[in-house]
Amino acid sequence: METFQSLLAKKLSDALAAAGLPDAGELTPATDQRFGDYQTNAALVLGKQRGENPRELAEKIIGHLNVGDLCEPPVVAGPGFINFTLRPGAIAEKTARILGDERLGVVETESPRRIVIDFGSPNVAKPMHVGHIRSTVLGDALARIATFLGHEVIRDNHIGDWGTQFGMVIYGWKNLLDQRALQQDPLAEIVRIYKETNALATSDPQVREACRRELVKLQGGDKENIDIWNECVAFSMQDFEHVYELLDIHYDIQCGESFYNDRLPGVVERLLKSGIAEISEGAVVVFFRDIPELADKPCIIRKRDGGFNYATTDIATIDYRLDDLKADSVWYVVGAPQTLHFKQIFEIARQQGYRADLRHITFGSILGEDRKLMKTRSGENVPLRGLLEEACRRARKIIDEKNPDLSEAEKIDVAQKIGIGAVKYADLSQYRMTDYVFSWEKMLSLQGNTAPYLQNAYVRIRSIFRKAGESWHRHPADEQVGWKPMPLQLGDSAEINLAKRLCQFAEIVPHVLNDFRPNILANYLFEVANSFHTFYEACPVLKSEEPVRGSRLALCDLTAKVLYRGLDLLGIKVPEKM
């Protein structure tokens, strides 16, 4: 099903051709709704190109535009924009068609790609903390949206399970471990021994040396150390799994850095042989002499002591994803501090002849109320699991007040949907590059651009349908068998506005992937909820007469479907009551 935007864009192309003009400019949603629904700058672009008067060109184009089935007669505005205002009849018809479409009008891409999305990717032997929310939630939303648009997505958790921290963890395990504490809270105990060893190693060179030896033994395949390492990884994974369960996050593969360990010597050899890397002061290094911004930033891929590092692993990872998984694109949802790292890695891939689309999708930080990086009172990273549990506790309080009659089981379920939804939405509704302040009050508020506000709009609609009961079920729109699109009755401006917004869903969803911005979808849903509330205040639904009643119920139904699907694409669930 075509969107208004794509239909009008085609008609514009036809008009340009008929007027003997080349294709030019864009057809976009209007920047100011007062002047119409869509606009094009075609005449402005052509005017500049050809040195002609843009307003006259606009008139000429309008003379060839054949849009009467969709719009009021187009008008020239300002320096030469052409504005389009949709006719209520066209909106009514489209709305009915979307209501009968499972995908709510969203078309699958014509060029599906296989996309590996590397997101979340926490490090073992450390708990997941609040900083991991962004990568995890953003990556999940992008994966859901890309999948819905018809791409083949492979969700990969590139866990940091192999690194220098293991020298210290193993030393601590052998010298400081408290078995009972390990049984009670394994990850906390592993973190404790890691931290204490780290402190010891800083002050005592002998401990430092002992840690280094443990690491070398691990890398050399020493059985005892490998066993300890395995156990630590397993304990960490258990902790991650809890968080993923709360967040409803799933991965297709979780290779982790250790998976690539065997491949690292081969990578270095190959890069040396092809001349991409060279030996410099005993280390193996890639220089980027021809690339100004990297010219003084070489990348070490084998250290002087023979050890490999994070970069080497990522080079091997690209091989695997492109050669073995046959990906067309790899999206790395990783914080901005790793920008240089990815520039280097992508350049090395390019020099090796890879042509895949590699993207580093960065994001800003989460700040505390003091506008500094969010920390606990003692200055540590805020553990994610505790934070999510607190979100559910706080949501529960709201439900206890708002709807004390729900059963205990319902309360638990609703609290989780609201609490987790609030945390996710607070993140996704921001432009990803913006730092934002983490505020419980704000994210859990039932007013404003929050998950609970959107969930509440959905719940309200569901309660209309519970009240409508039988009379709704007899409505033809609900009988899928033999269902025919029936144009809605759009009279009131609040109805027209809401219907127009609902038709935009199909334009918004693909737009998210242009610059990886789920916030576009979030803000759209917020506008849908606002338009719904305006409609609901202006237009009685259940008390109105047929056929207006059925038409308004259909609008309510489509609103609920758009909210449900839109939030689902953001990884947010909706309760039926709250």
By CB under 6 A, which span of 118-126, 174-182, 195-203, 453-461 interacts with ligand ARG? 118-126
User: Shortest approach of ligand ARG to residue 190 CB, angstroms?
Assistant: 17
Q: What are phi and psi of 262, to 5 degrees?
A: -65, -25
Report if residue 158 touches ligand ARG, rule: CB under 6 A: yes
Total H helices, total E strands in the chain: 21, 13
**3-class SS of residue 97:** helix
Residue selected from 121, 136, 225, 344 as contacting ligand ARG according to rule CB under 6 A:
121
Report if residue 347 touches ligand ARG, rule: CB under 6 A: no
Residue selected from 194, 251, 331, 332 as contacting ligand ARG according to rule CB under 6 A:
332
Report if residue 334 touches ligand ARG, rule: CB under 6 A: yes
The residues, any chain, with a CB within 8 Å of residue 471's CB and separated by 6 or more, are: none
How many whole angstroms separate alpha carbon 349 and alpha carbon 311?
12
b/e map 153-163, b = 16+ CB within 10 Å? bbbbbbbbbbb
* DSSP strand pairing (329-333 vs 357-361): parallel
Q: DSSP letters of 48-90?
A: HHHT--HHHHHHHHHHH---TTTBSPPEEETTTEEEE-B-HHH
Q: Compute the Cα dihedral for 275, 279, 280, 283 and give only its sign.
A: positive
Report if residue 160 touches ligand ARG, rule: CB under 6 A: yes
How many whole angstroms separate alpha carbon 411 and alpha carbon 396?
7
Report if residue 123 touches ligand ARG, rule: CB under 6 A: yes
Report if residue 129 touches ligand ARG, rule: CB under 6 A: no
Report if residue 495 touches ligand ARG, rule: CB under 6 A: no
Site size with ligand ARG, rule: CB under 6 A: 10
Report if residue 314 touches ligand ARG, rule: CB under 6 A: yes
Report if residue 161 touches ligand ARG, rule: CB under 6 A: no
Structure tokens at 242: 């809890």
Q: Give Cα separations from 420 to 54, 289, 413, 572 (angstroms).
A: 52, 47, 11, 8
By CB under 6 A, which span of 114-122, 224-232, 359-367, 438-446 interacts with ligand ARG? 114-122
Residues 380-409: x where in contact with ligand ARG by CB under 6 A, - otherwise, as a string = ------------------------------
Nearer to ligand ARG, 310 or 440 (CB): 310
Nearer to ligand ARG, 134 or 561 (CB): 134
How many whole angstroms separate alpha carbon 149 and alpha carbon 444?
30
* Ramachandran bin of 155, using left for φ above 0, alpha for ψ from -120 to 50, beta for the remaining angles: beta
**3-class SS of residue 342:** helix
Q: Contact at 8 Å (CB) between 136 and 247?
A: yes
By CB under 6 A, which span of 120-128, 225-233, 287-295, 443-451 interacts with ligand ARG? 120-128
Nearer to ligand ARG, 262 or 537 (CB): 262
Nearer to ligand ARG, 139 or 566 (CB): 139
User: Shortest approach of ligand ARG to residue 537 CB, angstroms?
Assistant: 47
Nearer to ligand ARG, 256 or 566 (CB): 256
User: Shortest approach of ligand ARG to residue 518 CB, angstroms?
Assistant: 19
Residues 261-300: x where in contact with ligand ARG by CB under 6 A, - otherwise, as a string = ----------------------------------------
Report if residue 365 touches ligand ARG, rule: CB under 6 A: no
Report if residue 504 touches ligand ARG, rule: CB under 6 A: no
Report if residue 140 touches ligand ARG, rule: CB under 6 A: no
Residue selected from 16, 38, 76, 118 as contacting ligand ARG according to rule CB under 6 A:
118
User: Shortest approach of ligand ARG to residue 378 CB, angstroms?
Assistant: 22
The residues, any chain, with a CB within 8 Å of residue 480's CB and separated by 6 or more, are: none
Nearer to ligand ARG, 155 or 158 (CB): 158
Nearer to ligand ARG, 6 or 254 (CB): 254
By CB under 6 A, which span of 83-91, 103-111, 117-125, 563-571 interacts with ligand ARG? 117-125
How many whole angstroms separate alpha carbon 507 and alpha carbon 477?
24
By CB under 6 A, which span of 40-48, 116-124, 219-227, 376-384 interacts with ligand ARG? 116-124
By CB under 6 A, which span of 97-105, 121-129, 266-274, 403-411 interacts with ligand ARG? 121-129
Q: Helix/strand/coil (H, E, C) string of 355-412?
A: CCEEEEECCCCEECCCCCECCCCCCCCCEHHHHHHHHHHHHHHHHHHHCCCCCHHHHH
Structure tokens at 162: 């192999």
**Residue whose C-beta lies closest to ligand ARG:** 160
Closest C-alpha among 384, 118, 145 to residue 252 = 118
Q: Contact at 8 Å (CB) between 557 and 465?
A: yes
* Ramachandran bin of 486, using left for φ above 0, alpha for ψ from -120 to 50, beta for the remaining angles: beta
Nearer to ligand ARG, 160 or 575 (CB): 160
Nearer to ligand ARG, 105 or 122 (CB): 122
Q: What are phi and psi of 367, to 5 degrees?
A: -105, 155
User: Shortest approach of ligand ARG to residue 399 CB, angstroms?
Assistant: 35
Residue selected from 41, 317, 449, 519 as contacting ligand ARG according to rule CB under 6 A:
317
The residues, any chain, with a CB within 8 Å of residue 534's CB and separated by 6 or more, are: 494, 497, 498
User: Shortest approach of ligand ARG to residue 295 CB, angstroms?
Assistant: 23
Task: List residues near ligand ARG by CB under 6 A.
Answer: 118, 121-123, 158, 160, 314, 317, 332, 334
